[in-house]
């Protein structure tokens, strides 16, 4: 199936590793030109060398002026952007017990820069009938505890997906959201290793995922993102999608082992 993404310019925030890197690989495999906005030059440059295409822009995404200047560099060096993937974010544990400034900082790390990127790329997206893919989190639906800033940010991403879909429909711009749940990434693996018994913790989590009792692969998230961005998904907008093996919405009674 030809996804008609050849030579499309795709900006992926946080694209140097984890789910972001899988998304970059997915677009490159379809002939698109990925632009990585990230603060990890070694990983980003190594990824570009691996896939044989793309550009890296060293951007601290909490600095709005850096974002603006980086978009100017993109226009000067590469051209107009066709697709924006708002992937960057961090589950930073800014819970209720933290100072309100920690909550504000969490919003800056997870919510403000997606708006800024969409704002600065608005003309590109309108001109090219482009699209936006937001990467959310199951935390917006399920809660997690101890992470108010991240949960609020990802809940807002779901809402902004539908708000922007309305704003941009008259320009032919589509906006959708993809929700990872339990995805095995290097960061997730580090978190598991903090458990007293990492293997036991991993097995327990797998047991709660209805489909095949396994983690979602980062490549499976990327496959849906790439499809949603393609011409083969040309009448899909304002949707929040869950490639999570049924984790978010299926009854836990089905999966939770008896105590």
Residue 253, pLDDT score: 72
Q: Is 210 in contact with 247 (CB distance < 8 Å)?
A: yes
3-state DSSP call for residue 240? strand
Asked if 188 is an active-site residue, the reply is no
95 located within any domain: yes
**Count of the separate structural domains present in the chain:** 1
* pLDDT by residue, tens only, the chain of 259 residues: 899 999 999 999 999 999 999 999 999 999 999 999 999 999 999 999 999 999 999 999 999 999 999 999 999 999 999 999 999 999 999 999 999 999 999 999 999 999 999 999 999 999 999 999 999 999 999 999 999 999 999 999 999 999 999 999 999 999 999 999 999 888 888 889 989 999 999 999 999 999 999 999 999 999 999 999 999 999 999 999 999 999 999 987 776 655 5
Residue 256, pLDDT score: 63
152 located within any domain: yes
Q: Which of 150, 188, 242, 247 is catalytic?
A: 150
Has this prediction a pTM greater than 0.75?
A: yes
124 located within any domain: yes
Helices 198-207 and 186-193: angle between axes, nearest 10 degrees? 120
Domain, as residue range, for 103: 9-184+217-251
131 located within any domain: yes
201 located within any domain: no
Residue 213, pLDDT score: 94
Residue 46, pLDDT score: 98
Q: Indicate which CATH number applies to the domain containing 145.
A: 3.40.50.720
Residue 77, pLDDT score: 97
Give residues with Cβ within 8 angstroms of 20, minimum separation 6. 12, 13, 14, 36, 38, 85, 87, 88
61 located within any domain: yes
């Amino acid at each position: 199936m030809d996804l008609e993404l050849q030579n499309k310019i795709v900006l992926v925030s946080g694209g140097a590793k984890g789910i972001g890197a899988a998304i970059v690989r997915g677009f490159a495999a379809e002939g698109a030109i990925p632009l990585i906005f990230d603060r990890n030059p070694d990983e980003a440059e190594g990824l570009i060398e691996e896939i044989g295409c793309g550009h890296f822009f060293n951007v601290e995404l909490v600095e709005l002026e850096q974002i603006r200047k980086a978009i100017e560099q993109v226009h000067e060096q590469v051209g107009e952007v066709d697709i924006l993937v708002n992937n960057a974010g961090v589950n930073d544990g800014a819970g209720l017990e933290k100072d309100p400034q920690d909550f504000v900082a969490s919003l800056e790390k997870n919510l403000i820069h997606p708006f800024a990127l969409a704002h600065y790329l608005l003309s590109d997206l309108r001109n090219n009938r482009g699209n936006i893919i937001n990467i959310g989190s199951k935390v917006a639906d399920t809660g997690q505890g101890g992470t108010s800033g991240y949960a609020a940010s990802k809940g807002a991403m779901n809402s902004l997906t539908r708000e922007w879909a309305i704003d941009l429909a008259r320009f032919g711009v589509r906006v959708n959201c993809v929700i990872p749940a339990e995805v095995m990434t290097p960061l997730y693996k580090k978190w598991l290793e903090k458990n007293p018994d990492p293997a036991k913790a991993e097995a327990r989590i797998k047991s709660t995922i209805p489909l095949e009792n396994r983690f979602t692969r980062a490549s499976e998230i990327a496959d849906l993102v790439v499809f949603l961005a393609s011409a083969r998904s040309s009448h899909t907008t304002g949707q929040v999608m869950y490639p999570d093996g049924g984790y978010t919405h299926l009854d836990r009674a089905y999966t939770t082992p008896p105590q």
